[in-house]
């Protein structure tokens, strides 16, 4: 199979007729616009008095919830949980704020859990482009943060995350995030100049990393807020490059996975550590020690540094490079990155059941 030339615009014309590259590269602007819209979001005053927060979402619509949950650990005073499935925790009641994210508004798992939240009398909010979930929320008198986006659910991260960050501020989960959003946007734009398609492979770290991942099983490792970035890398590699990928987290990895580094064939793996100097000092030591154990087991590995002073900027810059790497790897595999036929096929089968 001929390997695609990552510097040739003809490669994009041939393999990306639906224009996913443009949507990936536009994440900084998407976040900027979405934040301007999100800061105008008004919520009932009682929502700020919620005892706990439960986020609902699946697939690409759950990643924003993952990030909010992790950010809230650092500055929030209320427990936040994320439900990826059909059923709510039994503890949800009228003092719980339930926020449902569904790009289409028709995700069956999220709809099921959201209907349960209405029955439980919870305070509710929906983030969506429309669909059945918007109808349910409107009928119940619940706020709906509606956005318009012509693209894949996984490409609408900025819209959903900025809405949740704004909700997080109002619900007492986060400190003011205006400066953090501005920092993240500025840094992602700088990344685009260095890592975007117009940057040649000889100088482009994302294209170079994609080449090293070709033919390997990527294992992406994060810690702290970068755990969610590692999971985003995994799902983007799955959906864009159509390949297997694994997400791990420190320090948990050092209590189980490390025992299996050498088998069955370490040469099939390539580990990518997502790191930032602001992580806990003991975590930084674990990155070094774990890399040493991988080297002893013959597992190739490297480190990608997140950028920024704020946790939001750190997670978004780590996500941004991962999105680009997954796109370039799709081109190297000769696959069209946008469609996800197996997911669509499975949804159709379930709808007919």
Strand order in the sheet with 246-250: 246-250, 217-223, 269-275, 300-305
Set 175, 216, 336, 347: catalytic member:
347
Distance between CA 126 and CA 129 in Å, rounded? Answer: 10
Distance between CA 340 and CA 329 in Å, rounded? Answer: 15
* Number of alpha helices (DSSP H) and beta strands (DSSP E) in the chain: 13, 9
Q: Rounded to an integer, what is the distance from CA 253 to the centroid of its chain?
A: 20
The 10 Å Cβ neighbour count of residue 126 is 28
Query: Tell me, what DSSP letter sits at residue 3?
Result: P
Query: Is 239 labeled as catalytic in the residue annotation?
Result: yes
Distance between CA 323 and CA 154 in Å, rounded? Answer: 10
- Would you say the C-alpha torsion 98, 102, 106, 109 has a positive or negative sign? negative
Cβ 103 vs Cβ 153: under 8 Å = yes
Distance between CA 321 and CA 79 in Å, rounded? Answer: 30
My answer on whether omega of the bond before 247 falls inside 30° of 0, hence cis, is no
**Residue 271, beta-bridge partner list:** 219, 301
Set 32, 239, 242, 248: catalytic member:
239
Distance between CA 96 and CA 94 in Å, rounded? Answer: 6
Cβ 121 vs Cβ 95: under 8 Å = no
Query: Tell me, what DSSP letter sits at residue 57?
Result: -
Ranges assigned E (strand) in 70-176: 80-83, 96-102, 123-128, 144-146
Cβ 277 vs Cβ 225: under 8 Å = no
Judged by DSSP in three states, 144 sits in: strand
Distance between CA 168 and CA 174 in Å, rounded? Answer: 5
Q: Which residues are catalytic?
A: 239, 255, 347
């Amino acid at each position: 199979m001929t390997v695609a030339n990552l510097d040739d615009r003809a490669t994009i014309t041939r393999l990306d007729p639906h224009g996913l590259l443009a949507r990936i590269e536009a994440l900084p602007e998407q976040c900027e616009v979405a934040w301007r819209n999100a800061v105008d979001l008004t919520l009932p005053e009682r929502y700020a008095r919620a005892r706990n927060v439960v986020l609902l979402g699946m697939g690409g619509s759950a990643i924003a919830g993952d990030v909010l949950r992790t950010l809230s650990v650092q500055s929030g005073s209320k427990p936040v949980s994320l439900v990826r499935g059909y059923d709510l925790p039994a503890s949800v009641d009228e003092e719980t704020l339930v926020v449902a994210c569904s790009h289409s508004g028709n995700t069956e798992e999220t709809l099921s859990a959201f209907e349960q939240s209405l029955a439980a009398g919870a305070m509710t909010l929906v983030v969506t482009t429309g669909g059945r979930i918007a109808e349910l929320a409107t009928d119940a008198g619940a706020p709906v943060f509606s956005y318009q986006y012509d693209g894949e659910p996984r490409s609408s991260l900025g819209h959903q995350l900025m809405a949740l960050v704004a909700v997080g501020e109002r619900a007492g989960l986060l400190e003011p995030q205006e400066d953090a959003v501005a920092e993240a946007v500025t840094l992602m734009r700088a990344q685009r100049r260095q890592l975007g398609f117009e940057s040649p492979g000889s100088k482009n770290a994302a294209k170079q990393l994609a080449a090293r991942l070709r033919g390997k099983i990527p294992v992406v490792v994060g810690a702290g807020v970068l755990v969610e970035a590692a999971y985003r890398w995994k799902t983007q590699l799955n959906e864009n490059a159509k390949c297997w990928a694994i997400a791990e987290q420190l320090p948990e990895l050092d209590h189980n996975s490390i025992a299996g580094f050498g088998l069955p064939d370490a040469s099939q793996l390539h580990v990518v550590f997502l790191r930032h100097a602001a992580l806990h000092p003991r975590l930084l030591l674990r990155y070094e020690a774990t890399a040493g154990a991988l080297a002893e087991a013959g597992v190739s590995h490297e480190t990608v540094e997140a950028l920024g002073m704020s946790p939001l900027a750190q997670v978004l810059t780590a996500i941004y490079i991962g999105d680009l790497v997954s796109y370039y790897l799709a081109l190297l595999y000769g696959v069209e990155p946008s469609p996800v036929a197996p997911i669509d096929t499975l949804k159709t089968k379930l709808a007919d059941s």
